[in-house]
């Protein structure tokens, strides 16, 4: 009896100890987040292609199903990060400032088949710091204007809005009280109380979140004007926000026909196809302000500073981010290629939907700020305060400016 | 003779220590060491992603008390606790008292009240997000009596109260069971004697039930206090601390700073402050409202 206890306790102690011990991977690892089953299948197929071409490079694909950035952060901090991982363009400035990513410029220089001139410059820039290249953009998606063709026909609008005045006029014409109960059932536009969606208007108006000289631009006139225009659409009752009509995000509001227009990116396409297959919608470039502008969301393949298998990892990145791998990955249009040649080969420029997005990338900018995540969070609070309290856009921006200033990233 | 007793005793002790030992090791590895570690890193500028960890003494503590969002979080947490704990305690005692009567269908009611407690808080939170939404159930019910409801979770003046209501609803059933166990320990004879003396049910409740379940009340209030100070999952699922920090609580602040803003040292300092507040609150309660005043 006693012996058994001894054995049990020894055994549990032992298993506790070995599970604590460090481990060395015998294979290269690759991690991604998980968005949709279609994307996972397509990515697996792309990886299979790499396996066929390089049977001598074994690797493990370990998708992270939830809380991606928290888990990645923990792995990077404990030197257990995968050799290749996905990195969002929006958080790349802080990762680059922490000095935890591998500079890939040497790998690029020594790889003759990897033509980096082919990438859209704005997307490469999202992962550059002090002459280093810390990620290879795998794909992108810009904000474009989705519109409901049927509602446009009913309202007798035959041309798409090309500037702010026309956007406001169209939104006014499309805002309707269908059942006559005095409440609007169809809004011209659905917007979200988030900074990313305001930024295209700011850029169109010549403003910046952060000026080129590094100072905070949110209290400058061009910024405030753009915020006032955006917020004004909501206050005038011609735009709605998803929570006001009981939905989680603007794609759902647009799909359910609660709004005739929405700002969104490529991620809305499979959603509409799947959930609202009968809907007649189109996409257009964003209406311009003083200039054409939109923002592009991009993701990169990146490596930790000291990967276990640097050569193999680069081969994988070079394939996935190269012409062949990217062609396969973007073939179904779930994501848009960050290489011009791939976009041309896929015929995306001629496509009525993808063509709009490909034209947008010419003037799109990545939205990045040299402030820590806490600074970004303060900005989020500022935007919320003008939508959910009576604070004016100008006052909201003035109030948060000093709070954001504190969280500038150190050079 | 005495030798065999001794060795038998030794045998028993070995068994006992083995049984205690395993959980002690587990607690040490997963609880005690992390607590000490958190305390240590709260004195460092500890960013998980930056190899250099600088010792900054009380720097994090000075910063945390000047951080507007942290002060809002303290205020929100205090308000949350002050409202939720009394209501959930009184409500669960009242429910337990009712469920202890010989009512028809009381098994059904006991089960019904307890179901929220065994349902995952993430699930109940998501359901309540729908109930509280602008075209949701709550506003539909309110519209029947002619009230035009707001969007409960994006309105900064209602969001925190909406989450409080959810917590009260889901924990009252759980504490009701605790009180029920306490009520069953009260001897029937006490009630019978009171009934003979002509005490009404109401008087019996106040003069017998409430004082007799005092140890249970103490337990419920302590657990309630700790639970409220640590409220996290409902906030995480329902509001993400928003709108405009209206529902940012202390544990949500700790989470955000540690795992979203990469500042583990700063988050740890906030967590230590939270632990200190819980400790003081429990100590004050023990001092001024002892579980057994007749001792």
Classified by CATH at the fold level, domain B68-288 comes out as: MetI-like fold (1.10.3720)
Q: Are residues A268 and A322 in the same domain?
A: no
* pLDDT at residue A170 tops 90: yes
Q: How confident is the model at residue B252 (pLDDT cuts 50, 70, 90)?
A: very high
Which whole-number Å values give the CA distances from A52 to A49, A57, A310, in the listed order? 5, 10, 20
Alpha helices in A54-120 (DSSP H): 68-77, 92-98, 105-109
- CA A89 to mean position of chain CA atoms: 7
pLDDT value, residue A19: 47
Res B280: pLDDT: 93
Strands A84-88 and A239-240: unpaired
Residue B216 has pLDDT above 80, yes or no: yes
The reply to whether B181 touches chain A by the CB within 8 Å rule is no
Interface probe, candidates A373, A390, A401, A406, chain B, greatest B C-beta count within 10 A: A373
Can you name the residues that pair with B47 across neighbouring β-strands?
B263
Identify the DSSP state of A202: H
pLDDT of residue B146: 86
- Report yes or no on A321 lying in a domain: yes
Per the CB < 8 A criterion, the answer to whether A306 and A322 are in contact is no
Q: Which helix (H) or strand (E) holds A195?
A: helix A195-204
**Do residues A164 and A266 share a domain?**
yes
- Answer whether residue A302 is part of any domain: yes
Provide the CATH number for the domain around residue A78.
3.40.190.10
B289-292 own/partner pairs: CB under 8 Å, 24+ apart: B289/B218, B289/B221, B290/B218, B291/B214, B291/B215, B291/B217, B291/B218, B291/B219, B292/B214, B292/B215
| Ramachandran sector of residue A240 (left: φ over 0; alpha: ψ -120 to 50; beta: rest) | beta
Query: How much is the pLDDT for A373?
Result: 84
Axis crossing angle, helix B106-118 with helix B159-184, rounded to the nearest 10: 130
Nearest CA-CA distance, residue B161 and chain A, Å: 16
Q: What is the pLDDT of residue A103?
A: 94
Q: Hey, are the CB atoms on A389 and B14 less than 8 Å from each other? A: no
Percent of chain A with pLDDT over 70: 93
Report residue B263 as tokens. 């500042």
Region A103-108: mean pLDDT is 92
**Mean pLDDT taken over chain A:** 88
Instruction: Give the pLDDT confidence of A172-196 residue by residue, as tens digits.
Output: 999 988 888 888 889 999 999 999 9
Identify whether residues A186 and A228 lie together within a single domain: yes
Averaged confidence pLDDT in chain B: 89
pLDDT for residue A24:
53
> Residues 6 or more apart from A252 whose CB is under 8 A from it?
A242
Q: Are residues A33 and A117 in the same domain?
A: yes
How far CA B190 is from CA of A19, B180, B181, B218, in Å, comes to 57, 17, 17, 22
pLDDT mean over B51-73: 91
Could you tell me if A192 and A302 lie in one domain?
A: no
Burial of A408 (0-12, 13-18, 19+ CB in 10 A): middle
Beta carbons of A192 and A249 less than 8 angstroms apart: yes
Predicted local confidence at residue B2, as pLDDT: 60
Q: How close B122 gets to chain A, by Cα (Å)?
A: 15
Can you give the three-state secondary structure of chain B, one letter per residue? CHHHHHHHHHHHHHHHHHHHHHHHHHHHHHHHHHHHHHHHHCCEECECCCCCCEECCCHHHHHHHHCHHHHHHHHHHHHHHHHHHHHHHHHHHHHHHHHCCCCCCHHHHHHHHHHHHHCCHHHHHHHHHHHHCCCCHHHHHHHHCCCCCCCCCCCCCCHHHHHHHHHHHHHHHHHHHHHHHHHHCCCHHHHHHHHHCCCCHHHHHHHHHHHHCHHHHHHHHHHHHHHHHCCCHHHHHHCCCCCCCCCCCHHHHHHHHHHHCCEHHHHHHHHHHHHHHHHHHHHHHHHHCCCCCCC
Test A12 with B257 for CB contact under 8 angstroms.
Answer: no
pLDDT at A17: 47
CA separation for the pair A159, A166 (Å, rounded): 9
User: Do A179 and A131 share a domain, yes or no?
Assistant: no
Cβ of A349 under 8 Å from any chain B Cβ? no
Under the banding of pLDDT at 50, 70 and 90, the label for residue A7 is low
pLDDT at A407 over 60: yes
Same domain, A103 and A175: no
Residue A77 lies inside a defined structural domain of this protein:
yes
- Extents of the domains making up chain B: 2-41, 68-288
Q: How far is CA A325 from CA A42, A137, A248, in A?
A: 11, 13, 34
| A331 and A206 co-located in one domain | no
3-class DSSP state of A147:
strand
Could you say which of A98, A99, A245 has the minimum Cβ distance to residue B135?
A245
Is A6 inside any structural domain?
A: no
Q: Is residue A270 part of a domain?
A: yes
Pair (A342, A222) in one structural domain: no
Q: How many contacts, defined by CB atoms under 8 Å, are there between A and B?
A: 84
Range of the domain at A171: 144-293+369-405
- Best of A1, A7, A9 to substitute, by most chain B Cβ atoms within 10 angstroms, is A9
**What is the rounded distance in angstroms from the CA atom of residue A197 to the CA atom of residue A216?**
18
Check pLDDT > 70 for residue A16: no
User: Chain A contacts of B261, Cβ < 8 Å?
Assistant: 372-374, 377
The Cα angle at residue B149 between residues B143 and B155, in degrees rounded to 5: 165
Q: What whole-number distance in Å separates Cα of residue B112 and Cα of residue B99?
A: 11
Cβ within 8 Å of residue A159, ≥6 positions away: A166
Residue A88: beta bridge partners?
Answer: A299
The answer to whether residue B257 neighbours chain A at the CB level (below 8 Å) is yes
Would you say residue A157 has pLDDT above 60? Answer: yes
Does A22 fall in a domain? no
Strands of A9-151, DSSP E: 28-31, 59-61, 84-88, 128-129, 132-133, 136-142, 144-148
pLDDT of B47: 86
- Assess B21–A contact: CB distance below 8 Å, yes or no: yes
- Asked if residue A236 and residue A175 are part of one domain, the reply reads yes
- A114 at B interface, C-beta within 8 A: no
Decide if B16 touches A, using CB distance below 8 A.
Answer: no
CB atoms within 10 A of CB B150: 17
Q: Residue A12: its pLDDT value, please?
A: 52
Read off the pLDDT of each residue in B125-151 and give the average, rounded to a whole number: 89
Q: Which pLDDT belongs to residue A21? A: 43
CB within 8 A of A231, min separation 6: which ones?
Answer: A386, A387, A393
Structure tokens at B178: 């605790």
Q: Which residues contact A397 (CB under 8 A, 6 or more apart)?
A: A218, A219, A223, A224, A227, A382
Is the pLDDT at B32 greater than 50? The verdict is yes
**Chain A residues with CB-CB distance to B50 below 8 A:** 98-100
Instruction: Check whether the bond before B243 is cis (ω within 30° of 0).
Output: yes
For residues A66 and A103, membership in a common domain is answered with yes
Read off the pLDDT band of A235 (50, 70, 90): very high
Three-state DSSP class for A198? Answer: helix
Instruction: Domain count for chain A, please give it.
Output: 2
Q: Within 10 A of A288 (CB to CB), how many other CB atoms are there?
A: 18
Q: Which residues pair with A145 in a beta bridge?
A: A263, A284
A392 plus A256 within the same structural domain: yes
* Confidence band, pLDDT 50/70/90 cuts, at residue A39: confident
Q: Return the closest-CA partner of residue A186 out of A138, A254, A276.
A: A254
Note whether A171 and A189 are within 8 A (CB): yes
| Helix pair A221-235, A393-405: axis angle to 10 deg | 130
- Banded model confidence at residue B52, pLDDT cuts 50, 70, 90: confident
pTM for this one? 0.85
Q: In chain A, which residues have their Cβ closer than 8 Å to the Cβ of B24?
A: none
pLDDT (mean) for A129-146: 93
A1 inside domain: no
Distance from CA of A277 to the nearest CA of B (A): 25
What's residue A204's pLDDT? 95
Looking at residues B12-34, what average pLDDT do you find? 92
Predicted confidence (pLDDT) per residue in A285-338, tens digit: 999 999 999 999 999 999 999 899 999 999 999 999 999 999 999 888 888 999
Average pLDDT over residues A381-404: 90
**What is the per-residue pLDDT across A329-357, written as a single tens digit (0 to 9) for each?**
988 888 899 999 999 998 899 999 999 99
What pLDDT does A20 receive?
A: 45
């Amino acid at each position: 009896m006693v012996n058994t206890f001894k054995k049990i306790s020894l055994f549990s102690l032992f298993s506790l100890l070995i599970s604590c011990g460090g481990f060395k991977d015998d294979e290269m690892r690759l991690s991604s987040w998980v968005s949709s089953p279609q994307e996972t299948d397509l990515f697996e197929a792309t990886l299979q292609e790499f396996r066929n071409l390089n049977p001598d490079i074994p690797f493990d694909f370990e998708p992270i199903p939830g809380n991606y950035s928290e888990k990645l952060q923990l792995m990077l901090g404990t030197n257990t990060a995968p050799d290749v991982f996905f990195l969002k363009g929006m958080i790349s400035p802080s990762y680059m400032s922490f000095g935890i990513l591998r500079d890939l410029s040497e790998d690029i220089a020594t790889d003759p088949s990897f033509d980096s001139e082919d990438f859209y410059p704005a997307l490469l820039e999202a992962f550059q710091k002090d002459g280093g290249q810390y990620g290879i953009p795998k794909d992108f998606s810009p904000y474009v204007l989705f519109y409901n063709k049927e509602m446009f026909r009913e309202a007798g609008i035959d041309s798409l809005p090309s500037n702010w005045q026309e956007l406001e006029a169209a939104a006014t014409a499309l805002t309707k009280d269908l059942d006559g109960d005095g409440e609007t059932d169809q809004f011209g536009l659905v917007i979200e109380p988030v900074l990313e969606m305001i930024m295209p208007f700011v850029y169109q108006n010549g403003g910046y979140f952060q000026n080129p000289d590094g100072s905070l631009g949110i209290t400058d006139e061009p910024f405030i004007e753009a915020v006032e225009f955006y917020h004004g659409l909501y206050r005038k009752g011609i735009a709605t926000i998803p929570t006001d009509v009981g939905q989680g995000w603007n794609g759902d509001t647009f799909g359910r026909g609660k709004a005739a227009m929405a700002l969104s990116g490529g991620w809305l396409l499979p959603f509409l196809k799947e959930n609202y297959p009968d809907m007649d919608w189109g996409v257009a470039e964003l209406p311009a302000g003083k200039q054409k502008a939109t923002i592009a969301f991009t993701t990169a393949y990146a490596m930790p500073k000291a990967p276990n298998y640097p050569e193999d990892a680069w081969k994988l990145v070079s394939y996935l981010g190269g012409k062949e791998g990217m062609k396969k990955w973007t073939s179904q249009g779930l994501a848009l290629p960050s290489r011009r040649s791939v976009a041309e080969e896929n015929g995306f420029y001629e496509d009525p939907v993808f063509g709009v997005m490909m034209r947008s990338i010419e003037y799109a900018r990545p939205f990045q700020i040299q402030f820590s995540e806490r600074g970004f969070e303060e900005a989020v609070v500022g935007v919320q305060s003008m939508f959910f309290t009576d604070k004016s856009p100008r006052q909201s921006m003035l109030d948060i400016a000093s709070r954001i200033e504190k969280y500038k990233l150190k050079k | 003779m005495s030798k065999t007793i001794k060795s038998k005793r030794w045998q028993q002790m070995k068994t006992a220590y083995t049984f205690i030992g395993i959980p002690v090791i587990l607690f040490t590895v997963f609880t005690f060491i992390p607590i000490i570690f958190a305390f240590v890193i709260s004195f460092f500028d500890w960013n998980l992603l930056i190899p250099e960890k600088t010792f900054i003494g009380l720097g994090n503590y000075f910063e945390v008390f000047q951080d507007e969002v942290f002060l809002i979080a303290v205020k929100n947490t205090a308000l949350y606790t002050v409202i939720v704990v009394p209501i959930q305690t009184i409500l669960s005692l009242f429910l337990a008292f009712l469920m202890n009567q010989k009512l028809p269908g009381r098994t059904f009611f006991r089960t019904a009240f307890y179901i929220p407690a065994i349902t995952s808080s993430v699930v109940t939170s998501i359901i309540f997000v729908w109930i509280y939404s602008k075209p949701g159930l709550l506003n539909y019910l309110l519209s029947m009596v002619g009230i035009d409801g707001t969007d409960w979770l994006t309105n900064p003046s209602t969001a925190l109260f909406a989450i409080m209501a959810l917590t009260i609803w889901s924990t009252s059933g759980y504490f009701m069971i605790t009180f029920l166990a306490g009520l069953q320990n009260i001897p029937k004879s006490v009630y019978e004697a009171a009934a003979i003396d002509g005490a009404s049910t109401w008087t019996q409740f106040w003069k017998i039930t409430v004082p007799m379940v005092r140890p249970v009340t103490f337990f419920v209030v302590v657990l309630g206090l700790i639970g409220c100070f640590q409220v996290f999952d409902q906030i995480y699922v329902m509001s993400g601390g928003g709108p405009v920090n209206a529902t940012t609580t202390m544990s949500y602040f700790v989470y955000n700073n540690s795992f979203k803003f990469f500042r583990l040292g700063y988050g740890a300092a906030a967590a230590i402050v939270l632990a200190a507040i819980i400790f003081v609150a429990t100590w004050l309660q023990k001092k001024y409202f002892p579980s057994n005043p007749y001792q």
